[in-house]
Amino acid sequence: MISIYYHNLMILHGNGILNNYKLLPALVSILQTLNLTESAKQLNVTQSAMSKTLNQLREDFHDKIIVREANKFILTQKGEKLKAQLPILMQQLDDLYAPESMEPGSCKRVFTLASSDYVAQSILPSIFHRIETDAPNASLEYTLWHKENLNKFAEQHIDLVTTIADTIPDNLYGKLMAEDQLAVVFRNTAAHSDKEMTIDDYINGRHILISGGGDKNSPVDHELAMMDLKRHIFATVPFFQSAIELLLKTDTLLTLPLHIAADFAQHHDLRVKRLPFEVQAHRYYLLWHAKHHQDPEHQWFREICFPLIQSHLDRTIKQGMKIIHADQ
C-alpha cells in the first residue's frame, strides 16, 4: 500500500521527491488560504517560519506554487493540481495510522460538525453529552454551515454536516433523516392570528429572513416568482434566535421549517400556520466526505449524531403537524 502513496507523491512532485513529508500540512494550508499570515496562525508558527517553508516547498516542487497578482496571491498551474489532489492524499496517509477499530475511551480526536445555529442550540448539547459519557478524551468543534460549501466539501475541515439538500455530490455519502414542510410563524397578537392565512396576507406582510444555516427560503421566492409575486423583506438577521426575538416585538412573518416553528412555539407565544401555497418539501441529510467513510472513529461519531438529530426531527415534526391541524 505504501508504494501507491509513494507513486502518488511522485506524480504530484514531478521529476523529484519531496524532501520532507512533514511540510505537506503547511502546503495544504497555503493552498487553501493563499495567505501566509493566515496559514501561520493555523499552524501556530511565525510568519517568518511559514515564508521559509514556502521557499523550501518551491525548491522541492521546482515551482512557485503561489504568485502575487496585484494585492493578492493566485495559484500556479502546479498549485492548482496540488490543491485538487493533496487533501485526498493526506487523508490516505493518515488512514495508514488510523486504528482498525474504535475504542471510545482512548479516542482523542477533535470532531467537527457543521449546521445551523438552531441545531447548535437544540441538538448539540445532547451530542456533547454522549461524547463526554462515551469518549471523554475526544472533543467537538461546531461551525456554521454555508450552503455554497456543499461542492467544496473536500476543502473543508468538517467531519459531518446536517443540511437541506436536493442532490448529493458523488464524493459525499449521506443518510436521509427526514422530510419537512415550511410554515409561517408570527406573534399571537397579530391581526390575522385567528384566521387561515391567505396568499394576500402573506404577500402583504413584512417578512424576516434568516441568512445563516443553509438554504431555507429560496423555494418560497421561486414559487412566488412563478406567480409573478414578491414578498416584502423587512429584516434579515443571521440567527434563528435573533429572528424569533424580532418576531415577538414586531408585526412580522417568519417562514420556517415546520419542526423549528413547532419547537419555538413550545417556548414562546407564537402562532404557526400553513404556508398558503405549495412548495417542495425539505429533505434533511447527514452528509460526510467519501474519504471518511471507512474510518472507524468517524463511523462511531456519525452513529452518535444520526439518531439524536433524527429523533429531534421526528418529534418536532409531529408537534408541528398537531399544531397546524389543531389550528384549522
CATH 3.40.190.10 matches 108-177+284-318? yes
180-282 has the same fold as 1-97: no
CA distance 75 to 64: 9
Q: Where are the domains of the chain?
A: 1-97, 108-177+284-318, 180-282
- Averaged confidence pLDDT in the chain: 85
Check residue 191 and give its pLDDT. 62
Q: Give the C-alpha distances (Å, rounded to integers) separating 15 from 46, 59, 60.
A: 31, 12, 10
| Predicted confidence (pLDDT) per residue in 134-171, tens digit | 999 999 999 998 877 777 777 778 999 999 988 888 78
Check residue 256 and give its pLDDT. 92
Contact 185, 272 (CB under 8 A): yes
| Predicted confidence (pLDDT) per residue in 55-93, tens digit | 989 988 889 999 988 888 899 999 888 888 887 777 777
CA distance 178 to 86: 35
Q: Give the C-alpha distances (Å, rounded to integers) separating 123 from 116, 238, 255, 285, 312.
A: 11, 19, 21, 15, 7
Identify the residue with better confidence: 157 or 119.
119
Structural class in CATH, domain 1-97 = mainly alpha
User: Is 80 exceeded by the pLDDT of residue 41?
Assistant: yes
CA distance 28 to 86: 7
The CATH code belonging to domain 180-282 is: 3.40.190.10
